[in-house]
A and B are shown apart, each in its own frame.
Chain A
């Protein structure tokens, strides 16, 4: 089954404790991205990658890092989480171009 898999689904952590949210896709997509969803703001892109070892900032990259060492995986790293990073996070993958994206189930992160 074609899918995007994120882990964990829920995470509560403390300010400053490094964490990683994993994302994996099995559709051989070149394009992967991370979004955060906040009430009244819709989804905003954090980082994206158009291929292995090619990553770039989206609209809200501050406080986040990513890596793309393999085509299928695109982890999101929070080196020093802060409460304003409490949000619902989605990983997505797609082909290059103006095609639809496929989304993971989401990770609800709470930073206290």
Chain B
């Protein structure tokens, strides 16, 4: 079945540092890929998405590129801020069967001033 593996956390960085959170997936067919963010005490919000190979999703300075050859969708940001502290989830969704979102285990990111 489909699965997502995320870089284990927690991750702690200083403000203005470069961020990478690794995400790889296993899937049949051509799923869509997503990054969701969960701020403390809140639900999940879509951060960015990509629906086909070589697509780049971007939002709020974050980027991720759908790499079919390496089955990866790594999240990057050039200069993180304290307000980026949150839990980040990589996810995929196919069009077969239950069409469920399959999530990675989440990466907790803390940015220190």
A96 touches B99 (CB 8 A): yes
A98 touches B99 (CB 8 A): yes
Q: Which of A58, A97, A99, A105 contacts B98 (CB 8 A)?
A: A58
Of B32, B101, B103, the most chain A CB neighbours within 10 A belong to B101
5 closest pairs, A vs B, by CB? Answer: A98-B32, A42-B103, A42-B105, A103-B44, A103-B43
Distance of B2 from chain A, by nearest CB (Å): 11
Question: Is A45's beta carbon under 8 Å from chain B?
Answer: yes
B32 touches A99 (CB 8 A): yes
A98 touches B98 (CB 8 A): no
B105 touches A90 (CB 8 A): no
A41-72 interface bits toward B, Cβ cutoff 8 Å, 1 = contact, 0 = none: 11111001010000010110000000000000
Contact count band on B: 20 to 34
Q: Which of B45, B101, B105 contacts A41 (CB 8 A)?
A: B105
If A35-B101, A45-B101, A103-B36 are given as contacts, then 4 extra A-B residue pairs at C-beta distance below 8 Å, sorted by A number, are A43-B44, A50-B99, A103-B43, A105-B42
Distance of A35 from chain B, by nearest CB (Å): 8
Question: Is A100's beta carbon under 8 Å from chain B?
Answer: yes
Q: Which of B49, B100, B104, B106 contacts A58 (CB 8 A)?
A: B100
A42 touches B106 (CB 8 A): yes
- Give the docked Cα–Cα distance between A78 and B105 (Å): 25
- Give the docked Cα–Cα distance between A56 and B99 (Å): 12
B99 touches A92 (CB 8 A): no
Distance of A38 from chain B, by nearest CB (Å): 10
Distance of B73 from chain A, by nearest CB (Å): 14
Of A41, A90, A101, A102, the most chain B CB neighbours within 10 A belong to A101
Distance of B59 from chain A, by nearest CB (Å): 12
A97 touches B95 (CB 8 A): yes
Question: Is B66's beta carbon under 8 Å from chain A?
Answer: no
Distance of A110 from chain B, by nearest CB (Å): 16
Which residues of the other chain, B, contact A43 by a CB distance below 8 angstroms? Answer: 44, 89, 101, 103
Which residues of the other chain, B, contact A103 by a CB distance below 8 angstroms? Answer: 36, 43-45
Which residues of the other chain, B, contact A101 by a CB distance below 8 angstroms? Answer: 93, 101
Question: Is B17's beta carbon under 8 Å from chain A?
Answer: no
